[in-house]
Structures are given as structure tokens and as C-alpha cells.
Structure 1
Amino acid sequence: MSSPPPPPPSKPKRRRLLSLPAVYPCEDIAPAPLLASLLSLAADVASRRAADVDAFPVLRCGVRKAVRLAGILLAFLEEVQDAAAAAALPSSAVLGLTELHVAMQKLRFLLADCARRGARLWVLVNAGMVASELRLVLGSVAAAMDALPRSVAEASVEAGELARVVSEQAWRAAVRPDGADERAARSVRSILDQFKDGVAPDADDVRRVLRRVRVGSWSDCSEEIAFLESEICARLDAGDENSNDVLVMNSLMTFLVYCRVVLFDHIDASKSQPAAAAAPAPARCPEWIRPEALQCPITLDLMTDPVTVSTGQTYDRASITRWMKAGCRTCPVTGERLSTADLVPNTVLRGIIERMLLINGVTLPELSAAGGGGHRHGAVANTAVPFGPAAAGAARLAVAHIVAQLSRGSTEERRKATSEARKLSKHSVFYRACLVDANAVPWLLCLLSSTDAAVQDNAVASLLNLSKHPAGRTAIVEVGGVGLVVDVINVGAKAEAQHNAAAVLFYLSSNSPDSAEEIGRIPEAIPTLVQLIRDGAYRGRKNAMVSLYGLLQSAANHGRAIAAGAVSALAALLLSADRDDLAGDSVALLARIAEQPSGAAAVLSQPGLVARLAEALAASSASSSRSARDHSVSLLASLCRHGGAKVVAVLGRMPGLMASLYSLVADGGSPQTSKKARALLNEIHRHYEVAPPPPASSASSDAGGDRVVRVL
């Protein structure tokens, strides 16, 4: 019997900020390599010289002491190394060197966290805890120095003096938050208390806090927000959603959103910090990467956790996982059967996406610890209630400022306000509710006619996000915004604005058949979607087809769609589509249209379409695409029902169709698909039992050949 396959390798977790996962060297390590590794560690910490200490806005005095002590320790270790060149280090030195090694690992982690851009406000709020950890680390250094054998500590006269200095300074180091740190932290707590009461804090107080943590621009705020969001997601994935840290982080994140919205009047493209302290600029997305390559082919959303399947195609993990759980074992793009269900993380593409988003102050959430699934914003995105009253108050104040800028701001102010509305409405359900409650929808609709392409694009994207909220959909319809959205599909300044406007109609039509019928009454609505299906780019066609499908839930819209040429546009797309998903969407729409007799007649009037539908059913049966099978069978069944004996006869002569239907009945379809396939087979059987098929010479040209299929 073969042994079971090894479990898949676990993905490395990102280290949580202010955690110090030091690793002890192995017990049987020799003193010489341990000393060499310790020298490297000490050199790394000591390299943060006085000029670099400006990168530490918080605990400056404590950091300065730690860096100075690391420099003295490095000098001591170099003396020991020089002495050890003449005589081997004793094995008794391993204990002290090991403790030093662990302490220096922790010190390096701690200093890296204190210097980390984006984490400065969080470090400020936790300055007391950081100072305590720093004292413990320095105490460990002192204890390790005392544990070194005399032969090592006094390997030379210089070594002995340096050892005493390290030990004494480490024991005496009084590390505590600076006075300015404590005042800034108290100001943060006071500002959060004001947010709880719905009171806007004094702008000068807020700026003093930001100056302390060196946050001086819109992009700096975005960087801090992105860090806090990633930390919240990490804690949610670990099951710590009820911890106090999550509450505080969410409050701080919303505080920074308020600062970004209210205090900074323009969106800067680069960090506004001194050149000496500037971090390397993030790499931009390579020019050879097409924007579509960063979107999941299933959802058309930006991938947050890209994974590659066995066919070489890349999808977002959550999307392809849902696809597989639905029973589909094929690649959605190529239609090939997946040889394995393994999902390989596409780390290169994820890195490109992260670098691209970093430019805009956005970060991707970490992978879920359980199952490796992406936790896109976790509960941050999916809950309508914030984690605390301070966060709620700050969010409402920020949204009120955005709406004020939308209503009476200058062009530049409106450009920034629509950008902020787009970001916040994308972020969470709670922000969507705040924007709707603050009456943002009418002003965003007004800006759809803006001559500024950026303003129009951001306004449409904001409305798309708000249309996902029930109150947002109601607000758009009540103020008569549907016609304005339709106009953008026709004359939007950017293709992205047109595509997003088409998607808005889908969400608006999803309320009820009455909503779909009301949208259909707008003369330009359905013709505009049909035109986008006919002439649009890939994403535009996808959004237009989804929106038209939603409108067709109202029977009154079937005639409008047929009159607008929807059948001919879908038939042309089905006959020429080079992507399986577009062909599948076309079949789904045709199946919905053919539910009515007039729709079935329009489908049957398209030359070669019935033969193509039979081919599509055979292809979908082979590729095990459940939705494609279901829609194909539904469409053929509707054509038979409304087209009569002539259509049934044509289908009976289709090469391969009967075999595909039998396969679906036997073992290839879902219960619903199998039931429809069985009904279609019975209809064909009944037809040929009453009237045998005509001679091959009289076979319809739609049969695709002269072969006659008799059903026994």
C-alpha cells in the first residue's frame, strides 16, 4: 500500500507588529558560528546611526540608547572574535552568546517596527508597551553579558572594558516614552472621545498629533490606514474580532480617514517627507501588464489573492473556490477539465498588485490562516456597524465633509471629494450607509454630467458601490437618477465610467420586477445596453449583459429587448465570441428572451443559430459547465415549446445533440438540467413516433448535414 501524500506546505504568516518571534540557536551549535551570526545581528542594529534615528518619531531617546548600546556590543564582539582567532572559544560561552543572540533578534524586530512607515500612529498609542519591551530586551542583554565566561568577557583589556560598559548601561537604561509621546497619545485619546460625541476636534490638535508621527500628506495618511486595515484583517483571520486591539485599530483607522478627508486638500502622488528620511519609492506596475490581467476573469474585480489552476489560468482564490464548490471541474476561461483541484498562489502577480495599490495608499489583506482563503477586508467590509462609537463618529464627520465638498466645492475639491467617496463606499457597508444618510446620492448624480473626466469617473464608481446598498438603490431611483446613469453609458468620458454605469443598472434592477420594468420604460435604457453588447469592450459587454439579464426579469421588457435588436446582437456574439464566458452569457440571455413566444421566434429567425446552440450544448456537456448546460437546455426546450414540430424535427437531426442529451440525463447534469434534458428527449421521441423523419435529401440546412437520426 502506498503511503498517503504529504500535506500541502503551510503558507508563511506575516509577523504581527510588536510581536518578537526570536528563534533560539540549536543546542549543539559551536561557539564560532554562533559568534559570527551574533556579529551580523549586532552590526545590523548598530547600523542605525544617529542620522537614522530621525526615522523613529516615537521613543526617540529609548531608540537612541538601544542603538548606541548595540554599537558598543558590536565593538566588544569584534574584540572577542579577534581574540578567538588565536585561541578557540570555550563551549561554556554558548549559553551567554545564545541569550545575546535571542535578545538582539528581539531588538532588531522592535526597532524595525518602531521605524516602520504606516505603523507610526499605532506605535505612538502603544508607546508604553513598546518602552516596556525595550527595557526587557536591554535587561536580557545585561543578563547575557553577565553569563559569559570570564575567559570570553575579558578576552583582552579592551574587551573587558567594553563588556563592563555594555552590562552597566544595559542594566541602568531607563527607557520610557518621551514627554512629547505621552502628550500626543493623550491628544489621540481626547480626539477619539470627541468623535464619540459627534464633535469635530480642533484642527490644530489633530495636526500636532500628525506632526509627532511624521504624517504630513494625503498619501502618508493612506499608508497608515492601509497598515491598520491589514492588522485588523490579520486579527480577524486569527479569530480576535472581539479583542480590544481591533476596537482601537478601527478607531485609529477612521481617525486617519477623517484627517485625510478634512485636513489635506489635494491627493499627492509622492511622500512629502525629507529626502534624508525618504523610503525608496514603490515600484510601479510594469507597463507590459495589461489592466485586465489583474482582474479575476470570473468576477472582473481586482484579484486580492491570485492563484493559478492546473490549466495555467489565474483567478482570485475566493472566486475559483466558489466555482469548484458549485460542482464545476473545468477552467472557466479555457473550458478544459482541471486535472487537479490544487490552487497555486501566484506570488509574482500578487506582488505586482500590491506595488500598484501601494501607490494609492491601499494594501491587500493577508491570507486567511484557515484554509488559505482571502479575507477581503473581513468583517470590516461586510458589517453595517463599526467596531466602536469613536469610529462611527469620525466616519460620519468625514462623510459630512465629503458631501459638503460635493455640493459646493471647486473643481479640484470635487475631484478629491469624489475620489474619497469612491474609496469609502468601496471600503465597507457602514460607509455606504453613512454616504446615503448624508444625502450624497443626489450630488453624485449631478456630477455625472461633469466635464472633468476624473470627477465623472469617480462619481459613477461611487454610485456603483452605493447601488449595492438597498438604501442606495432606493435613493438613486427616487431622485430620478436612472436616466442620468443611462446617459453615462452612452457618452461617458472614459470607458471605465461607461462600464460602471452599466453595472449600476444591474443593481437597480435587482430590487424587484417592478424596478426592472420602471428602468425598461426609459426609452434609451435597453437600446443603450444592447449597443454596448454589440460594440463594447470585454468588460463593458459583460456588465451590459448582466444588467440586461436583470431587466428581463420583467416580462414587459422582453418586447423592448427584441425591438432593440438584442437577439441579433447576442447571436452575433455567440457565433463569433472567442471567450467561453461571453458565449455562456449570450446563451443565458437568449434563454431568458426565448421564454416568450416572440422571443423564441426572434431566436429562430437568426441563421445558423440553432446549430450553434446544439454545438454549445455538446461543448458544455464535455466541459461540465453546469450553468452553460442548464441555459443551453432551457433555450432549446423553449424553442421546441414555442416553435412547434418544425423545430423539434430540426433538433432531432442535429449531429451529436441526442448523445449530449442522453449524457445529461444519465450522469452529466444537475437535477434541474437532467429534468429539462429528459423533457426535450421525450418531445423529440413523441415527434418521431407520430411522424418518421423525412428522407435525408429534405433535411433542413440547419441540421448541419444529411445524416438522419431516428429515436427508437
Structure 2
Amino acid sequence: MMTSWRRRRESRRAGKKQDSEDQSCSNMELNIPSHFRCPISLDLMKDPVTLSTGITYDRESIEKWMEAGNNTCPITNQVLKTLEPIPNHAIRKMIQGWCVENKSYGIERIPTPRTPVSSYEASELLSKVVAAQQRGDRDVCLELVAKIKRLVKESERNKRCMVSNGSCGVLSAAFEAFSNDSFEENVRLLEEILSALTLMLPLGGEAKSSLGSPSCLRCMVWILRCGDLSGRRNAVFVLQGILSRDDGNFNHLVEIEGGLEAMVKLIKEPICPTTTKASLLATYHLVSSPLADEKVIARFVEMGLVEMLLEMLVDCERSLCEKVLAVLDGICGFDEGREKAYDNALTMPVLVKKILRVSDLATELSVSIIWKLSKNEKRDEGGVLVEAVQVGAFQKLLLLLQVGCSERTRGKATELLKSLNMHRERLECIDSMDFKNLKRPF
């Protein structure tokens, strides 16, 4: 028993000694070799690259330096002969070895970075896409587009490189060329091109011009109606970017059978929040276009878009709320849209509730819609103005003028107050909770 007791005592002493040694080691400051540090960030380099001046930097740091418009070496101030840094594999392997040796200090081995695509490689790849498109070789083109997608997904740097070398224009031209051929045979390639383009949004003018052709729009509408979830999502993202241009794209899309219905279906049967927002933006470009007329608005109204938008406003987050209000504001610029809004019991309560509650933009849009409804009201009794007073619009508009808003919104709010004041003898109801989080200027 005495022997076992001595063993336990010696074991405890050994443990205490080891703990003290570990603590002293952990308290030691680990010095990183100076040639392993980036001269810009002074941190351990994860992807060392060497410039034409012979100085090595971490890729992320030196690329930020160049993106700021600098074309000189930060250390030597010499003008760089080329802005393409060369990977320094020797230094990188030394850093990785040092990390392994100091693993006990909590240093993790840096992974071997992928070499980003160069401008020359991007140009070569896009040239092959153009050649395959001219030959009509969809299989080779499909393979090249898939490779572009992989590179763009790999890093933000690759994405910038591909975009700066005109990838959006090349892919859009390929989409237009193959959309003119047999659609059934090329649908897989066309969906792949749309998928690649969504990774490089926003599109440039050249890309929008190509994708806005009637053949391209017909293909995208088909994908919206019959494609899988991923294809429909990509199509509406690209379509939303195309419609932001004020040109013939509006007429081309409106004339395509099922085009407007496919967009409304994405709002009615949402795939994901981002897709719903893209669909709303595309719809907004249509209803607010100078080319929009009563016939287009009537088609949206017949599809039940006004009812959908009002139901969405009951409970939705800020970004979605702003887009829904923007579309509703565009629709209420026409008689057909206003009449449909008049007949919905949700219209005035939800619009008044959004004032001073969501955002400045939501407030301005809500006031604009109420102003349009009241300005063009044709009913003498029990109309929009009376209902607006009953749900507390008068108090909210007064408070809006006190808190402050844009000059345009101020003018509409002032005009509304004059109209509402004539009906104030009616019963007024207001939810004081609407003002609980309001920031007062005093």
C-alpha cells in the first residue's frame, strides 16, 4: 500500500510539472519569420505572389492595392511591367512547412491555393466559345460554358477577370445564336449559359442587347414556363436585368404568349425569396415602363396580381415590402389597377400601416398609392378618403410632415391632408403601436 501511495504522489507531481511546462510554452510568443509576412498586411502570407520587381506579397493584399488604381510596387515604388503576379511556390512551401513544425502552438497549415485564371487564359477560353458557336458545336460550347462556371464560382478574383474580358457579351451572343436553332436540341446549353450569366450579374449593355432579341426572350419564357426550378430561377434573374433597359425588350416580351403569366406564376408560387424579388423587379420594369398601357395592366389585373400583392403586404420583410409597393404603385397609375384596388378591403388598411413603419422608401410608395387612389376616386360616399380617415391616415400624414420626407412626398401628403380633412367628422381609428419605434427629431 505504501508503494502504491508513493506512485500516486509521484504521478501527481509529474502531472503538475507537465502542466507548468505546457503553460510556459503557451505563454511564449511565437515569432513569424519576417520573410513569411506580407509587407502590406504584415500577416502570414496565405498565397504568396511575386511582382515584376521581385518583391513577394500576399495575393489578396496586392490585388487590393492594384484594384485601388495603383500600378507601382508598394515597396520599391517602381512602375510594374505587368499587373499579373506570379505565384511564389518556394515561399509557399516554406510557409506550409513552418506551419507544420509549429502545429503545437495552434498554427494550422495553410492550404495550397488554386492559381487564379489570368487575363490571357480568360481570353483564350472565350475565343474557344466564339469558335464553337460559329461552328454550331453545342457539345464543345456546353463543356466550355461549364468550365467558365467553375472558374467564376472558384473565387471573386476569377469572376472579375472573366467579366473584364467580356465573358457576358460572349455568352449572350452564344445564347442568341443557339436560340435561333432547334430549341429542343439546344435547351440544355441555353440553360447552362443562363446559369453562368447569373453568376456575373449585372449585365453590360452589349449582353442586354443580345439577350433582348425576340428569339432569346422566347427561349427564356419557355424556360420560365417549363424549366426546372433552377432554370426558372436563372431565367427570371437574367430577364429582370434585361428589362431594366428602355428599348424594344418590353414589346418583344409582351407579345410572347405566356410571358407575363410565367412571371406572375413565380410570384404566386415562389421558389425562394430572391427569385420572388427578381420576379417583382421584372414586373415593376413592365408596369412602370413608358410603353406600358391599359392592355398590359389589364392582363396583370386579370391574373389576380393586385390581390396577390396586397396579401403579401400583410406580413413581409422590408426588402420584399418595398418591391411589392413599387409594383402596386405602377399598377395604380392606370384606371384598371385603381378600380381593382378600390374593391379590395385590404388596400387602405395595409397601405396606411406601412407609413412610417417599414422604411423611407416604403413610406413614400404608400403615400403615392393612396394619393393616386384618392386623386382619381369617382365615388362620393363611402370611398377611399372616408376609409383612409377611419384607419388613421390623417394622423400618420401629419406626423410624416413633422418627421420629414422628400419634397415630392410632402406635396402629395399635404394634398391628401386637405382632402381627408373634409371627412374628419367620421369615426377615426388608429393603432398607437404604429408609433412606438418612431424616431422623433426632438
TM-score normalised by the chain length of structure 1: 0.44
Q: Which has the higher contact order (CA 8 A, sep 6+)?
A: 1
Distance 2:51 2:259 in 1: 54
Question: Is structure 2 residue 265 aligned with structure 1 residue 524?
Answer: no
2:325 corresponds in structure 1 to 587
2:274 corresponds in structure 1 to 539
**Is the contact made by 2:51 and 2:86 (CA closer than 8 Å) also made in structure 1?**
no
Distance 1:437 1:457 in 2: 12
Distance 1:580 1:595 in 2: 23
2:283 corresponds in structure 1 to 548
2:346 corresponds in structure 1 to 608
Listed one character per residue, the Cα deviations across residues 612-661 of structure 1 (whole Å, up to 9, x for unaligned) are 211122524xxxx2111110000001111222344343244323211110
Aligned AA (2:308):
A
Q: 1:597 aligns with which of 315, 321, 335?
A: 335
2:414 corresponds in structure 1 to 678
Distance 1:359 1:605 in 2: 64
Question: Is structure 2 residue 400 aligned with structure 1 residue 664?
Answer: yes
Following superposition, the deviation at residue 444 of structure 1 comes to: 7.0
The 1:591/1:108 distance shift into structure 2, 3 A limit, reads closer
1:410-559 equivalences in 2 (<5 Å): 410=140, 413-414=143-144, 416-419=146-149, 427=161, 429-432=163-166, 435-436=169-170, 439-442=173-176, 458-464=192-198, 465=200, 468-478=203-213, 480-495=215-230, 497-512=231-246, 514-536=248-270, 537-552=272-287, 553=289, 554-556=291-293, 557-559=296-298
Number of aligned residue pairs: give it. Answer: 364
Following superposition, the deviation at residue 245 of structure 1 comes to: 6.5
Listed one character per residue, the Cα deviations across residues 302-321 of structure 1 (whole Å, up to 9, x for unaligned) are xxxxxxxxxxxxxxxxxxxx
Listed one character per residue, the Cα deviations across residues 411-441 of structure 1 (whole Å, up to 9, x for unaligned) are 9725634525856666565323674399434
Distance 1:545 1:438 in 2: 23
2:8 corresponds in structure 1 to none
2:65 corresponds in structure 1 to 234
- Work out the percentage of aligned pairs sharing the same amino acid: 16
Aligned AA (1:236):
E
The 1:666/1:456 distance shift into structure 2, 3 A limit, reads same
1:291-330 equivalences in 2 (<5 Å): none
Aligned AA (1:396):
S
Listed one character per residue, the Cα deviations across residues 567-607 of structure 1 (whole Å, up to 9, x for unaligned) are 122122122x3423222321221111001111101112223
**Is the contact made by 1:613 and 1:632 (CA closer than 8 Å) also made in structure 2?**
yes
**Is the contact made by 1:466 and 1:472 (CA closer than 8 Å) also made in structure 2?**
no
**Is the contact made by 1:509 and 1:547 (CA closer than 8 Å) also made in structure 2?**
yes
The 1:638/1:581 distance shift into structure 2, 3 A limit, reads same
**Is the contact made by 2:352 and 2:388 (CA closer than 8 Å) also made in structure 1?**
no
1:146-165 equivalences in 2 (<5 Å): none
Distance 2:123 2:361 in 1: 43
Question: What 5-or-longer segments of structure 2 have no aligned partner?
Answer: 1-23, 88-92, 101-109, 432-442
The 1:359/1:402 distance shift into structure 2, 3 A limit, reads farther
Following superposition, the deviation at residue 469 of structure 1 comes to: 0.6
Listed one character per residue, the Cα deviations across residues 346-370 of structure 1 (whole Å, up to 9, x for unaligned) are xxxxxxxxx9xx999599xxxxxxx
Aligned AA (1:660):
K
Question: Is structure 2 residue 365 aligned with structure 1 residue 626?
Answer: no
Question: What 5-or-longer segments of structure 1 have no aligned partner?
Answer: 1-32, 45-104, 131-223, 254-272, 281-354, 364-390, 706-712
1:206 corresponds in structure 2 to none
Distance 2:177 2:256 in 1: 22
Distance 2:59 2:132 in 1: 27
1:367-382 equivalences in 2 (<5 Å): none
Aligned AA (2:216):
G
1:571 corresponds in structure 2 to 310
Distance 1:560 1:474 in 2: 26
**Is the contact made by 1:422 and 1:459 (CA closer than 8 Å) also made in structure 2?**
no
The 1:607/1:448 distance shift into structure 2, 3 A limit, reads farther
Listed one character per residue, the Cα deviations across residues 160-181 of structure 1 (whole Å, up to 9, x for unaligned) are xxxxxxxxxxxxxxxxxxxxxx
**Is the contact made by 1:509 and 1:516 (CA closer than 8 Å) also made in structure 2?**
yes
Aligned AA (2:310):
A
Measured on the aligned residues, the alpha-carbon RMSD in Å equals 4.4
1:372 corresponds in structure 2 to none
**Is the contact made by 1:485 and 1:501 (CA closer than 8 Å) also made in structure 2?**
yes
Distance 1:457 1:360 in 2: 30
Aligned AA (1:559):
A
Following superposition, the deviation at residue 252 of structure 1 comes to: 6.1
**Is the contact made by 1:516 and 1:551 (CA closer than 8 Å) also made in structure 2?**
yes
1:398 corresponds in structure 2 to 125
Distance 1:401 1:479 in 2: 26
1:257 corresponds in structure 2 to none
**Is the contact made by 1:506 and 1:546 (CA closer than 8 Å) also made in structure 2?**
yes
Aligned AA (1:635):
I
SS of structure 2 residue aligned to 1:573: helix
SS of structure 2 residue aligned to 1:481: helix
The 1:467/1:585 distance shift into structure 2, 3 A limit, reads closer
Listed one character per residue, the Cα deviations across residues 50-83 of structure 1 (whole Å, up to 9, x for unaligned) are xxxxxxxxxxxxxxxxxxxxxxxxxxxxxxxxxx
1:95 corresponds in structure 2 to none
The 1:512/1:431 distance shift into structure 2, 3 A limit, reads same
